[in-house]
Homo-oligomer: A and B are copies of this chain.
């Protein structure tokens, strides 16, 4: 058995069942090994940014790593933006980056580059394999590294001669370390803080935003009268009717500061306080009120759920009921097209169990507001801030959860970064419905130009902020990649077409033109 096959079999034994790939010549033995290792499903993407984002979406929904196959340094380079997002989202992922053979590399062939240097900024674990005999073990180590709490990006560099060389066969999965438990004294100390009755918020991180973690956090908040918060762009948030009510920290730092003002304590349950995206010349980026104390109940690598439940017990709050989001289906409305109107239509139709991949940028807030009381659903955010995530993450989430509908809420500017994801959706016949908010500009930059530089777009600088002239035709772009698509002219039209799309087989795209 060659190294490639031993590696794939080892990944499969470690629970990897999907591999997003865009291979090149140096990865041909990995490709060939798929013929025999049928436990791993290969999925082609036409650009590597799609596959790193898809692996991220897959991991956000399953908690398990997908693998990727990337072609040397440039292939890894193309994947970096969405690997950055995956790193920030704390998801497990195993990247296999092809490399030249040991004999060939020293000659500095055209595609040679410093792969480690490219990999390290986006990977918690990087290893260069040294031989066919050790490739399977490296694969097992990569899976274990990826599954090390809270979830990590692991990158294994695979020389072509290791892939084709004779191996000793697959190796058994390595146990990943489990989450460290939180010492009881920390729980007691935080219980003491919560008992003071001072204005307090519980800020939940990844694990505290779903399932038992979210229930415990909600119970705790209601028992002690604390606010329950999440960061601005959590990796995955369970929300909707019947789920614990949660407040989201606003994006702009001055709004975030206002939002947090009056708090005396913030208890971090598996997260960190969100750091505003940018520093400004005249706007403070300090969002925590003066005198407010931060208390870490658990880091993301620790046993967050157990710590929250211990805290509930310590406070005798196990019978307390979280404040739940009431079921509210807004009326779809029928006026002219605005982000708020579109959000109402989405909220009126969002199916139970939907997964929303949100890269709506300036439309995110209205989308979230309108859907707060929609049937329970998951919301995936742009955690790392590198645009071009929405369509790929939707693709990976749909592969992970074939029995759930995926709705991608996509700004046009960021959608153009990785539009190739639509093709993979078409090929894999994924049930993804994409709504493109076509305002034909980087609307956020129009605001930030003023906030940062105190300027309004001039004729000259508007060209760097507007993406009109020519206008993108998303219907044509989607059809060009085999995805059925339509443009809507009114909210009524949107309601009708979205309704049909949500029942269709395979992907659909709806372009919603917004006033610029």
Q: Which A residues are closer than 8 A to B by beta carbons?
A: 21, 23-26, 28-29, 31-32, 34-35, 38, 42, 44, 46-47, 49, 73-75, 77-78, 80-81, 83-85, 88, 100-101, 103-104, 107-111, 113-115, 117-118, 120-122, 160-161, 164, 233, 274-279, 281, 285, 383-388, 413, 416-417, 419-420, 423, 426-427, 444-445, 448-449, 452-453, 455, 458, 460-461, 463-465, 467, 469-477, 479-482
Contact = CB atoms under 8 A, between A and B. Distances in A.
A164 B281 contact: yes
Contacts of A160: 278-279, 452
B476 A28 contact: no
19 contacts: A25-B445, A28-B452, A31-B453, A35-B458, A35-B460, A74-B80, A74-B387, A77-B80, A77-B122, A104-B285, A107-B285, A109-B276, A110-B274, A110-B383, A113-B121, A160-B279, A164-B452, A419-B419, A476-B479
A455 B164 CA distance: 12
Contact of A110 (B44, B118, B275): B275
B122 A113 contact: yes
B464 A472 contact: no
Contacts of A114: 120-121
B277 A25 contact: yes
Given A84-B113, A279-B160, A480-B473, A73 B426 contact: no
Given A109-B276, A117-B117, 16 more contacts: A31-B449, A31-B465, A49-B78, A78-B78, A100-B278, A100-B279, A108-B275, A114-B120, A117-B120, A160-B278, A416-B420, A470-B482, A471-B482, A476-B476, A476-B479, A480-B480
Given A452-B160, A452-B164, A461-B35, A476 B480 contact: yes
Q: Which of A118, A427, A453 has its CB near the most chain B CB atoms (within 10 A)?
A: A453
Contact of A46 (B445, B455, B463, B467): B467
Contacts of A44: 463-464, 467
B109 A42 contact: no
A117 B73 CA distance: 13
Contacts of A479: 473, 476
